[in-house]
Amino acid sequence: MMRKTILGILLCGIILLEITGCGNKKNFKLNLPKEDKLKNITLEKNSNKLDILDEEEIKNIIYVLNGFGEDRTTKEESIQDYPVNANEIIKIEFNFKGEEKGKSILFIYKKGNKSFIEVPYNGIYKINEDEYNSIEKYIR
């Protein structure tokens, strides 16, 4: 009898967790635009602003942000327009050409001794110090 009670309580607990979504965090995957769809990339840090028009530089920035082929998928959600409690924030604006027209924005920044990529209202992704510096060199 005691076993059935314990089993029933465990089963109810598992069902409750499933219903509330606890333990089932969404995975966020970084999706960057293809370089051939971009007119330019605008980098902005503090009062410095730079438009990157060169195709090779655009390709290089996309490559670095993609993590040299490394998977950046996380379970960290962005719920802001702008990173909070972050330092050394670089705004990266992708300006599309042709039929795509428009823009998308992400940020790279430092928080504590780590660096991150944040796509507003999407996800927060890890980026290493070398990758951050590879982007920052354009805007120094």
Summarised one tens digit per residue, pLDDT across range 103-140 is 999 999 999 999 999 999 999 999 999 999 999 999 98
Q: Residue 7 has which token pair?
A: 């089993």
pLDDT of residue 4: 67
Spatial separation of the C-alpha atoms in residues 65 and 61, rounded to whole Å: 6
Q: Which residue has the tokens 């430092």?
A: 110
Question: Domain containing 55 — which CATH number?
Answer: 2.60.40.4250
In a domain, 12, yes or no: no
Number of structural domains found in the chain: 1
In a domain, 6, yes or no: no
In a domain, 40, yes or no: yes
Q: Is the separation of the CB atoms in 65 and 135 below 8 Å?
A: yes
In a domain, 20, yes or no: no
Q: Can you give the pTM of this predicted structure?
A: 0.79
In a domain, 130, yes or no: yes
pLDDT in tens, 20-58: 555 556 777 888 999 999 999 999 999 999 999 999 999
How many other C-beta atoms are found inside a 10 Å radius of the C-beta of residue 14? Answer: 11
In a domain, 32, yes or no: yes
In a domain, 19, yes or no: no
In a domain, 15, yes or no: no
Residue 113, domain extent: 26-136
Spatial separation of the C-alpha atoms in residues 108 and 132, rounded to whole Å: 7
